[in-house]
Amino acid sequence: MSPAKWNIILKIHRQKQGEAPHFEEFPMQVDPDEYVLDAVERVWAFMDRSLCFRHACHHSTCGACGMRVNDVEKLTCITPIREVTRDGATLKVEPLRNFPVVSDLAVDMGTFYSRMETVGARAVLPVSEAEIENPPTTWDADESQYIRLADCIECGLCISACPAAATSTEYLGPAVLAGAQDQGLKRNLKLLELVDSEDGLWRCHSAFECTAVCPSFVDPARRIMDLRMQVIEERFKRLFRKP
């Protein structure tokens, strides 16, 4: 027997260029075991083709469908409706915070992606650069020359949830600092200067909101604390190094 349907109101943040942000409500019937992204897609498919949002893989690998659901950062493709609302209630969906809104629910992640590149935390590497045991030698399709290595899926949820990122657009933010922690500071003075700068790891307030929302168990807050230890250690070493 299929589960009983719920009647909910999907309340969606709308904002086109030059328009003041506002909410629009879309009443609909849902299966509570569907995901929030399914409900958003239903609005686009049957109610309003102008709704703009990002999505791709539908299985929490690409990180594209991050949004704020009832004020909490979620990957909407893996967030069941029954976990975030109830029958007869309203379900609010907004774009991630601390990113410029491109349109409706879609945000501009460009600066974030280039900061990840700057600290050397690329989500996708050419196979030739990958440190993996016994790399396959028989792939020949173009796309198979690249491989995803990192656990961070670059969804941006941690940046949206971060209270320090809300105070400064220049702050590198949790995912970027977590990515830097993986790179090692010993022989990388440029990276050391970057993470030890005004917009680097000392801006973190240790709120741990990033770790709470991360869907990929990266634990950025713990990595930032580890990075602080690395920086202090490296600074001391450089201070007392014999000429």
Residues that bind ligand SF4 (CB under 6 A): 63, 152-158, 174-175, 178, 214, 216, 218, 220
- Supply 85's token pair: 């609302």
Pick 14 or 58: Cβ nearer ligand SF4 = 58
Report in angstroms how near the CB of residue 207 gets to ligand SF4 at its nearest.
Answer: 14
Pick 200 or 220: Cβ nearer ligand SF4 = 220
Largest alpha-carbon pair distance within the chain?
A: 77
Report in angstroms how near the CB of residue 178 gets to ligand SF4 at its nearest.
Answer: 5
Report in angstroms how near the CB of residue 218 gets to ligand SF4 at its nearest.
Answer: 4
Instruction: Please state, in angstroms and rounded to a whole number, the distance separating the CA atoms of residues 87 and 166.
Output: 33
CB 65 within 8 A of CB 79: no
Report in angstroms how near the CB of residue 202 gets to ligand SF4 at its nearest.
Answer: 19
Pick 66 or 91: Cβ nearer ligand SF4 = 66
Instruction: Give Cα 28 distance to the centre of its chain.
Output: 28
Report in angstroms how near the CB of residue 173 gets to ligand SF4 at its nearest.
Answer: 8
Pick 175 or 195: Cβ nearer ligand SF4 = 175
Q: Which segments of 49-173 does DSSP mark as H helices, in order? A: 81-84, 110-118, 157-161
Pick 39 or 75: Cβ nearer ligand SF4 = 75
Report in angstroms how near the CB of residue 190 gets to ligand SF4 at its nearest.
Answer: 22
Report in angstroms how near the CB of residue 204 gets to ligand SF4 at its nearest.
Answer: 13
Pick 30 or 223: Cβ nearer ligand SF4 = 223
Q: Is 97 exposed, middle or buried (CB count within 10 Å of its CB: 0-12, 13-18, 19+)?
A: middle
Write the DSSP assignment of 171-230 as a string of letters.
Answer: ---HHHHHHHHTT-STT-HHHHHHHTSTTSGGG-----HHHHH-TT---HHHHHHHHHHH
Pick 44 or 113: Cβ nearer ligand SF4 = 113
Instruction: Please state, in angstroms and rounded to a whole number, the distance separating the CA atoms of residues 129 and 14.
Output: 42
Q: Is 236 exposed, middle or buried (CB count within 10 Å of its CB: 0-12, 13-18, 19+)?
A: exposed
Instruction: Give Cα 46 distance to the centre of its chain.
Output: 28
Neighbours of 4 (CB within 10 A): 8
